[in-house]
Amino acid sequence: MNQQEEFALPELLLGFGDLGVLRDIIQAYLAFLPRSGLPARDRERETHLLKGVLYKLADIPHQPVEVRITLTVGEIHSLRSAMQVFITFVKQKVAPSRERDETLEDVACLRQHLLDLLPRSYARNRA
């Protein structure tokens, strides 16, 4: 493995519609964090990381056909946390339906894809 491959940051490919959903999930999670029960230091870290992702998404049009964003390992873990909270919240608050279940499945697949972007040593420790 050369040095460039060793330090390459993962890229997330987002398709039509994914960008808006990702923005909404992040913003909802940021609103949830103060009431999450996480220690202040963890809340601050999560907030910082996710605001960084929102910053990366800010200049991207809302309906691109396809976009790639580079993410740090910390950002990936924070996004995965936000998605898990979203999945849990929707399961508790939204009545079961085909649309709800398909949406949750799509978010779960994206969450798993984020894990797949990580080198095995990082993924194994934070699955």
Statement: residue 109 has pLDDT above 80: yes
Average of per-residue pLDDT across 39-67: 88
Angle between the 98-117 and 18-32 helix axes, to the nearest 10 degrees? 90
pLDDT recorded at residue 123: 53
Most confident segment among 57-61, 64-68, 109-113? 109-113
Instruction: Please return the burial class of 37, using the count of CB atoms within 10 Å of its CB with bins 0-12, 13-18 and 19+.
Output: exposed
Please write the tens of the pLDDT for every residue from 82-98: 999 999 999 999 999 99
Q: In the prediction, which pLDDT does 60 show?
A: 81
Of 61 and 110, the structure prediction assigns the larger pLDDT to 110
Output the CA torsion sign for 46, 50, 51, 53.
Answer: positive
What's the mean pLDDT when you consider all of the chain? 86
Residue 125 has a pLDDT of: 53
Q: What is the pLDDT of residue 5?
A: 46
Identify the H or E element spanning 88.
Answer: helix 73-93
In single-letter form, the type of residue at position 37 comes to: G
Q: Where are the domains of the chain?
A: 11-126
Q: 26 near 53, Cβ under 8 Å?
A: yes
